[in-house]
Structure 1
Amino acid sequence: MQIRYFLAMSLFPTLVLADNTTAAPSSGSICIIEPNLPRQIPTSPSSAIQDPSEITITSNDSQAQLGQKAIFNGDVSFIQGARRIAADEAIVDQQQQSLSANGNLVFSDDSFIVTADSLVAQMRSNTATLQRTNYWLKGQQAHGTAGTLEITKENNLILSQATITTCPDPKPDWVLEANKIKINSSEEWGEIWGAKLKIADIPVFYLPYMTIPVSNKRKSGFLFPSFSSSTRNGLEFTVPYYWNIAPEYDLTVTPSYMSNRGLYTKSEFRYLTGSDSSPQTGQLNLEYLGNDQYETNNSDRYLYHWQQQGSIGQNWRMMANYTDVSDDNYFNDLRSDISTSTNNQLIRVGEASYLEENWDLTTTVQDIKVLGESDQPYQVMPQLDFNYRAPDVLTGLDFDLFSEATQFKDQNSGNYSSATRVHLEPSLSYPIQGPAGSLTTEVKLLQTNYSQQDNTDSALSDSVSRTLPEARVSGQINFERYTSYFNQNYRQTLTPQFQYLYVGYQDQSDIGLYDTAELQNDYYGLFRDRRYSGLDRIADANQMTVGVTTKLFNTQNREIFKFSLGQIMYFQDSQVISEYSNTTNTTTSSSTLASDISAQLYNDWFINGSVQYNTQNNSNTKNEVSLDYRPAPNKLLQVSYRYVPNLVNTNTGVTSDISQTGFRAAWPITDSISLVGNWYYDLSEKQTVETYTGFQYDTCCWAVRVTYHDRIKTSYSNDTSSAYFQSGVYLNFIINGLGGSTTSSSSSSSGSSTSGSLEASSMLKNGLFNYRSPIYLNN
C-alpha cells in the first residue's frame, strides 16, 4: 500500500570535531566502519516520482481512517527525497499531525545513518525525537550513541548522554562522552556539556563545557593542546587560541611554555579584503620569547613577518613580503611558523605591477638579509621594469622590449645610494615553427648606463655606458619512430638542437657587482644567452652549442626514458669571464660536456642523474645520481651520490670538495607500522652529516611516532659560523579525529610537533636533506 503525505522533518547537521575542518580519517590508516543495521535501508520504487515535499509510505499491512489515524505494520518504509525511514510499525495521526515509528528503526540521510528504538515527529512544530540511538556519519569514521536525539523546531539538534569516536566497534580505543550536545544549525556551532575523554576505558581528560564548529564556519575558542620534550627546550606545553574576529579577519595566538627557555608566544593575524574580483589576502606574524633562559645573556628573542598579495581591478597586482628576527640563530633555536633552521636568508620584497595585453610595468623594492654574515647584499631601492611585446609586428617579425631602471643602496657603507642602473634591451626575432622542428633568429641591443658617484670603491667609474650587440640563431629538428626493445613496443623521439650565440665585448671591470652571480652550467644552461644572473656582467660570446635529446614512450604514452647530451664550442675565449674570475686567458675550445638522464630501468626501479665533464683536463666538474625503488606511493628505497669540486665557502673563502653519499628508506611494514630512515655521509670529511630514523604506528583512531635525529647545524656568532651536531629523540602521540586535519611537523631545533595525520611521506620531509624528486640532496 502506498500513501503520499507531506512530512516536514529537520536534517541532522554534519558533526565536526575541530577548528574549521570536518572530521576525517587519518591519511595514514583509513578504516571503513560499517553501520550495524537491524534491516536494509529502503530504496525508492522505480515508478515513484520523487518530490521533496511528499513522502512515500509502503508496508505489508495498513489500517487507515480518513482524517484520523493510519497504522502501518510489517516492513514499513518512509521515503522523502534523500531521507529514508524503516521500522516494524508506524502510526500517522492526522489530527495531531504526528508520526511515530518503532521496532528495528533505521533513519538515513545524505549525511548520516541512525538506528533507534523509536521515533516521534510533530509535523506542526517540525520537531522529532529519537530514543536510544546509534549514529554513523557518512563518508567519515565518526560514529557514536545518544540516549535521546532531539530535533527542535529551530532545526537545532540536542543529544543527551552522547558519545562519539572514530574507532571501530565493539570496544573503541578512545571515546568522547558528553552529558549533552547541542548543535545550533543557524550559527553552525555546537555546545558540549560534561565532556569526558576516555582512552582504553580510562578517563584522561574532562571539560565541563566546550564548543565546536559544525561546518567550515569558523568559531573562536581554544584549540587542542600539544605536548613535547627536547634537550634544548625541555618540556613544552602549548595551548593555541583561535579568535574569529570577523568573516574577513581572524587571529591565532599560540603560547608555549618551555621549561628551559620560558614563555614563547606566537600570533598569526590573517585578513581577506577587497572584492571577489579583486581580493587582497595577507597575514601578520609576531613571535616573542622574553628573557631566554637558555642563553647566557638572557636575551629577548623575537620575529615579525608581514606578507600580502592580491589584485586591484583587472590590471593591478600587488605583493609584499617582509621578515625580521632578533638574532642570527633565531631559526636554529626556535620553532618558528615562518621559516626553518636551514634558511639563512630573509628576503624582503614589495612589488606592484600593472598588466596590459602587450605591455606591463612593475615597481620593486628588495632587501636581502643574510644571517651570520657581516657583508650584506645591495638593497634594491627601487627597481622599475617595463616590458613591451608586439608579436608579428612585420611579416612574421616579433618585437620585444625589456627595460629596467634600478637604484642600489649599499647596506655596508651606510650611504644613501651606491649606484643607479638603467638598461634597455630591444629585440627582433623571426620564429619559424612546425611539426618537423623550429628555427628562431634573434638580434638584440643591450644598452646599460651606470651612475656610481656614491660608490666608495675608487676602482669603479663614476659613469659607465655599455653598449653590446647580441645575435642568436637557435633551432631543433624533431625525429620520431616506432621501435621495440626487450620485446616491448615504444615510440622513440630524437631531437638534435643547436644555438649560435654572438655577444660583443666591452671592458666591465669598472662596474660594481650589485646583483650578479654565475649561473649553473647544466644541460639546459648550455642554451642560455647569459653566463651570469643580473646585468652587471654580460659575458662576450662567439660560440656554438649543440645538443641532442632522445626519449622513449611506452604504449600508454608514458615517458620511461630520457637522455640529453650537449656541449658548447667556443670560437674565441670570453674576456669578461677571465676578468670576473681574476684569471688569465687560457685557450678553451669547449665547455664542460653536460648530460642528464632519467629512466625507468625495470618495473619500479628508477635512475636519475646528471654529469658535467671537463673534456679539456678529463675531470668531473659535477655529478649527481640517485637510484630509486618506488613500488608504491609510500614505499621508497633510494641510494644517492653527489660530487661538487672547488666549492667556495662564502663565509671563510675556503675552497673544498663536496663528496656525499646517502641512503633513504620509507617502508610500511604492515598496514599500521611504517619505518623511515635517512643516512648521509661526507666522503671528503669522513663523517656522517645526518642520521634520521622514524617509527610510526598508525591505527584508525590513534597513532604514535618515535623519531631520532643526529644532524649537523650551524651556529652564528660575531659574524662567523660554526658547525655542531645535535641529536634528540622525539615522541608524538595523536588521537585521530580530535585534532582536526592539521599537519604533523617536527623541528630539528625543538623536536616538537603539532597533532594531526601522520604518514611516512610527511616523515620524509623532516630530514636535513628533504626528499625532492628525483635527485637533488639539497639546494
Structure 2
Amino acid sequence: MAHGAQDLQDRAVEPPPPSETPLPDDPNQIQFSADLAEYDSNGDVVTVSGDVRLFREGNRLRADKVVWNRKSGQVVANGNIAVTNPEGDTAYGDSIELTDSLKDGVIQNMLVVLEQGGRIAAERGTREEGGVIRVDRAAYTPCAVVDSGNCPKEPSWKITAVRVVYDPAKQRIRYTGARVSLFGIASLPLPVFSHSVGDGNASGLLAPELRYDAVNGFEVALPYYFSLAPNRDLTLTPRLFTGALPLVQAQYRHLLDKGAFSVTGYGTYSRRSDDFTSPAAGISTENAFRGYIDAVGRYQFDENWSTSGSVRLASDRTFLRRYDISSDDRLRNNLRVERIDRDSYFAINGWFVQTLRPTENQGLQAVALPEIDYRLRFGQDLIPGGRFELQANSLAIGRGAGQDTQRAFASLRYDLRKLTSWGQEVTLTGYARGDVYNTQ
C-alpha cells in the first residue's frame, strides 16, 4: 500500500537491527545478507532480494530488493525500506537511491524518525554528507501519532512546510514556507524559522506576547532565548508599547553542582505621573529610570549546611502595577543560613520588607535581623521512651522611623512515652520556658 505525502504514521517495516557478526575491518567493504544474491560480472552489478540487510560504517539498510552497481557506487533499494544511521535516526521510504557509503541518497515518500524525538515526513527527501536531510513539501511533529490503544491518530500539533532541513550536528530543524497546525487548525504562515530537536537547549526567538491596557496601549513582547551552557541560560525580552517608552526584561538562570539561582530584572525610562489617571501631588513628571529585580537562590555547602535567599526590590511603588508585573503590595526579602542534622536544627534569618502601599511609611516597615533559632533533641538513652528537646530563639526587629524590639526565649521540654499492658499509649510531658523582651 502506498503512503500519501506527509504521512507521519509508522511504517510496517521494522528498522534494521545491528549486524549479528563483526563488520569488516576495511571501511570500504559492505557486509550484506539476503535470501537471494545474483552477480552480473559484465556490468559488475550485484542484485540481492528477500530480507536484504546492508551494513557499512555504522549505517544499516533493510529492503526487499537492492541493486548495487560496484562501478558507479550507486545503490538502489525498493520495497519496505528502512535506513538507520549511527546516531539512531531511521529513514523509511518506497524507494531509495544511495551511494555505496549508505550515507547519502534520495528517498521517495520519506519518513524520518529521529532518535532525539520527533518525525519528518515528505514526498521526497535527500540525505547528504554529514547526515543533513533536506525534504520538500514536508511535515514535522514531536507528538505521538498513535493513541493509548496503538491506533493511528492525528498528532496534537505539527508543522508543514515547503522545505525542511534537518542538521543532526546542530540538532536543529529549519523551515521555509511553514504553517503550524494545532489540533488540525492551521495558523498564520511562518516564512522562515527554526527550532532545536531533542532534550538540548538552543538559542532562538520564543513565542511573542500581545496585549493591551488603557495606560500603556498595545504591547508587543519579543523574547529571545540564549542557551549559554547546558546549565545556564539568559532570556532577553524587549517590550514595546504604543503609549509608553520600551521596557526591557532579562532573566538569567544558573544551575550549579550544589545549588541554583535565578535573577529577573526589568528596566525602563518613564514618568511616574503617567501611572495615575489624574494628577497626583508630589509625583515626578520627568522621565527617569524605573525598574524591578526579583532574585532567588539556594546553595548546599554539604549534607548539613545550606544557604538560601530571595530579593524583590522595586524602584518605586507603582512600577509593578503600571506594567502589570505583579499585584503584590509588599515585597519580602530574606536571607537564611541553616544547619540540619538528625537531632539538631540551627538557622540565622534576616528579613526586609518594601512596602508598595501609597499611604504607608517605609520607615515603619520592620527589618528582622537577625532571627536566630536553635533546636536540639537529646537524652533518648537516659530513660527508654523519653526525650529532651531544647529550643533557643532570638529576634531583633528594627525600624527606621518607629519602635525597635528585641526578644529572646529558651525552652526545655521532656516527653516520656510508655505503652501499658493493655496497649494504651501514655505520654508524660514536662515543659519550662523563659522569655526576655526589650523595646526602644
TM-score range, shorter chain: 0.5 to 0.7
In the alignment, is the contact (CA less than 8 A) between 2:336 and 2:350 conserved in 1?
yes
What letter corresponds to residue 60 of structure 1 in structure 2?
D
The alpha carbon displacement at 1:322 in A equals 3.4
2:76 to 100, 119, 126: 100
In the alignment, is the contact (CA less than 8 A) between 1:262 and 1:291 conserved in 2?
no
Q: Kindly report which structure 2 residues correspond to 1:467-482, keeping only aligned pairs within 5 A, or say none.
A: 476-477=384-385
1:208 and 2:191 are equivalent in the alignment: yes
Q: Kindly report which structure 2 residues correspond to 1:712-727, keeping only aligned pairs within 5 A, or say none.
A: none
Distance between the aligned counterparts of 2:317 and 2:390, measured in 1?
Answer: 44
Distance between the aligned counterparts of 1:378 and 1:39, measured in 2?
Answer: 70
1:127 and 2:104 are equivalent in the alignment: yes
2:130 to 151, 154, 162: 154
Secondary structure (helix, strand or coil) at the match of 1:49 reads coil
In the alignment, is the contact (CA less than 8 A) between 2:259 and 2:298 conserved in 1?
yes
Secondary structure (helix, strand or coil) at the match of 1:537 reads strand
For residues 192-216 of structure 1, what are the alpha-carbon distances to aligned partners after superposition, in whole Å with 9 as ceiling and x for unaligned? 2222234576642222221222455
Return the TM-score normalized by structure 2: 0.65
Aligned to 1:268: 251
In the alignment, is the contact (CA less than 8 A) between 1:180 and 1:192 conserved in 2?
yes
Aligned to 1:514: 396
What letter corresponds to residue 514 of structure 1 in structure 2?
A
The alpha carbon displacement at 1:341 in A equals 5.2
Change (3 A) 1:566 1:138: farther
Aligned to 2:343: none
1:287 and 2:266 are equivalent in the alignment: yes
Aligned to 1:376: 365
Aligned to 1:7: none
In the alignment, is the contact (CA less than 8 A) between 1:323 and 1:348 conserved in 2?
no
Secondary structure (helix, strand or coil) at the match of 1:154 reads helix
What letter corresponds to residue 204 of structure 1 in structure 2?
S
What letter corresponds to residue 59 of structure 1 in structure 2?
A
Aligned to 2:333: 347
What letter corresponds to residue 119 of structure 1 in structure 2?
I
Aligned to 1:62: 37
The alpha carbon displacement at 1:116 in A equals 0.9
Return the TM-score normalized by structure 1: 0.40
The alpha carbon displacement at 1:90 in A equals 0.3
Greater relative contact order structure (CA < 8 Å, 6+ sep): 1
In the alignment, is the contact (CA less than 8 A) between 1:42 and 1:79 conserved in 2?
no
For residues 228-269 of structure 1, what are the alpha-carbon distances to aligned partners after superposition, in whole Å with 9 as ceiling and x for unaligned? 689999876543112346778643122446789885542113
Aligned to 1:197: 180
1:49 and 2:21 are equivalent in the alignment: yes
In the alignment, is the contact (CA less than 8 A) between 1:126 and 1:152 conserved in 2?
yes
Aligned to 1:538: 409
In the alignment, is the contact (CA less than 8 A) between 1:35 and 1:136 conserved in 2?
no
Secondary structure (helix, strand or coil) at the match of 2:130 reads coil
Secondary structure (helix, strand or coil) at the match of 1:74 reads strand
Aligned to 1:116: 93
Distance between the aligned counterparts of 1:280 and 1:341, measured in 2?
Answer: 29
In the alignment, structure 1 segments of 5+ residues that lack a partner are 1-32, 354-361, 386-401, 403-424, 432-437, 441-474, 478-496, 504-511, 517-533, 550-562, 582-779
What percent of counterpart residues are identical? Answer: 17
The alpha carbon displacement at 1:576 in A equals 3.3
Aligned to 2:11: 37
Change (3 A) 1:220 1:171: closer
* Aligned length in residues: 388
Aligned to 2:312: 323
The alpha carbon displacement at 1:176 in A equals 1.6
In the alignment, is the contact (CA less than 8 A) between 1:261 and 1:294 conserved in 2?
no
What letter corresponds to residue 77 of structure 2 in structure 1?
A
In the alignment, structure 2 segments of 5+ residues that lack a partner are 1-6, 146-151, 340-346, 399-404
Q: Kindly report which structure 2 residues correspond to 1:668-679, keeping only aligned pairs within 5 A, or say none.
A: none
Change (3 A) 1:78 1:580: same
Change (3 A) 1:351 1:539: closer
Distance between the aligned counterparts of 1:72 and 1:304, measured in 2?
Answer: 69
Distance between the aligned counterparts of 2:242 and 2:384, measured in 1?
Answer: 65
Distance between the aligned counterparts of 1:247 and 1:170, measured in 2?
Answer: 34
In the alignment, is the contact (CA less than 8 A) between 1:255 and 1:266 conserved in 2?
yes
Distance between the aligned counterparts of 2:103 and 2:83, measured in 1?
Answer: 16
Change (3 A) 1:147 1:334: same
Aligned to 1:439: 381
Aligned to 2:206: 223
Distance between the aligned counterparts of 2:176 and 2:166, measured in 1?
Answer: 12
Secondary structure (helix, strand or coil) at the match of 2:381 reads strand
